[in-house]
Structure 1
Amino acid sequence: MTIENLWLYILTLLRDGPKYPYEIPDLIESRFGWKPARVTAYIVMKRLEMDGYIRMVRKKGDTGRVRNYYELTEKGRQALAGAEKFLRELISALFGEGEPD
């Protein structure tokens, strides 16, 4: 996986709710089986924030301390839905639907 598609993984994780930035690379590894470099993930998250796909929110963490978390914006939800539609159509075009193995 590359920095070019890391945004998909980040938006997918944030669809489930706000996440602490430090945990996102670990969540990508546990859910998708590969771990991006933490600095690379931070760069992509910052770019997603600057472009309006995610936003920083402050909330209490598990320890009771107030921390910064990222959450998905409506623009981010729309981008993720568009990417999902595109990828489903691409897989269908490449491999067909309902064909035997």
Structure 2
Amino acid sequence: MEESKPMLRLKRTLTKGNLWLYILSELKRGRVYAYGLSKKIEKEFGWSHGLITSYVVLYKLENEGLISSEFEGRRKYYKITKKGSEELRKAKRYLQQLLNKL
């Protein structure tokens, strides 16, 4: 059965619209490079996104101090910062409170 438009919008908003949550969640498990991160998100959460989108979000997260990066050979590895861990914790708490109200 085909999903309704509201359900499709909800899924899009909760996935691609909040990619930063998935990125921080994966980085909490350990450092990873951008392509590997996209593949981990696809495997763990069951949806995919463009690699360019990952780079844009990673750039913003690094500028905000939520992640840091370092080169190892030709690959740039990302890891979550203390500030990023705190922001992820706040986001999870907010989502849980929202679910409880629904």
- TM (normalized to structure 1)? 0.81
Letter in structure 2 aligned against 1:75? K
- Aligned residues with identical type, % of pairs: 39
Aligned residue runs from structure 1 range 9-28, under 5 A: 9-28=22-41
1:90, distance to aligned residue in structure 2 (A): 0.6
The DSSP-based 3-state class of the residue aligned with 1:29 is helix
Structure 1 distance, partners of 2:43, 2:78, is 19
Question: In structure 1, what is the Cα distance between the partners aligned to 2:18 and 2:24?
Answer: 10
Larger Rg, first or second structure (1 or 2): 1
Q: Deviations along 1:37-60, whole A, 9 cap, x unmatched?
A: 11011100111011100000234x
- Counterpart of 1:82 in structure 2 is 90
Q: CA RMSD for the aligned pairs?
A: 1.4
Deviating above 6 A after TM superposition, structure 1's stretches of 4 or more consecutive aligned residues are none
Equivalent residue pairs, number: 89
Q: CA deviation at 1:23?
A: 1.0
Structure 2, unaligned runs of 5 or more: 1-11
Contact 2:34 2:51 in 1 (8 A): no
The CA deviation at 1:66 is 6.2
